[in-house]
Structure 1
């Protein structure tokens, strides 16, 4: 009997499927880049943002896959429990070292919508712009993610 796929394997498979679905919805050629997790994640994030820019609704499965994968990446890069990053309805993670909370609202909370989160993670929107436009709600002394975002460096959206 084959081994049951791990959560990481399931997340990567969902991301690749979501990328293919988003590219198809955009009438673009299938992804032919490296099948490395970060490359597929970046390609899917940019495909979602291209859909948004074109006025089309991004594929829900692609938005969900990108949000979940970027939240996991953030939590892996800066582990801890001092800040909770929420991107409803798709996910939330705790990150950053510092005071740990066990009940109720954590000492720091960042909350935003999925497309704003994807733009921040991809580097097509910067933290000061997002917070000044009230696209992000951030409370607590550790709620400034400007040093952690974007996840891959500032980029322009690929055509």
Structure 2
């Protein structure tokens, strides 16, 4: 089961968001990916969808049937930069999925109702 995450310190998030694109380090990406995954889990409590941002972390979120063992029936997977972009509203969910930057399979994987999770500093 994915780890329970907590949102990061707002100052650390603002600092990491202040660096864009190639200036953002892996430490920034890890902090922001985990932060926005934690916010998603708070905004959409549940365990019907596993949202993965490898290699940094994953959470189970979205109300519905609880998943407990094996391969989850609903999975969302993306890279950290894409997750940060959709979480901040810099990229829409539909555009991310349509372009293949987000892979989403199973019921309840449309995260549009929960996004954006925050805004760029």
Q: TM-score, normalised by structure 1?
A: 0.66
Aligned residues: CA RMSD: 2.2
The match for 1:63 is 29
Q: Note if contact 2:45-2:61 (Cα within 8 Å) is conserved in structure 1.
A: yes
Larger Cα Rg: Structure 1 or Structure 2? 1
CA gap 1:70/1:44 in 2 versus in 1, 3 angstroms: farther
Displacement after TM superposition at 1:46 (Å): 3.0
CA gap 1:60/1:128 in 2 versus in 1, 3 angstroms: same
Displacement after TM superposition at 1:8 (Å): 5.0
Name which structure has the greater RCO, CA cutoff 8 Å, separation 6+. Answer: 2
**In the comparison of the two structures, how many residue pairs are matched?**
117
Unpaired stretches in structure 2, ≥5 consecutive residues: none
Q: Which runs of 4+ in 1 moved over 2 A?
A: 43-48
The match for 1:139 is 105
Unpaired stretches in structure 1, ≥5 consecutive residues: 1-6, 13-36
| Distance of 2:15 and 2:108 partners within structure 1 | 29
Q: TM-score, normalised by structure 2?
A: 0.85
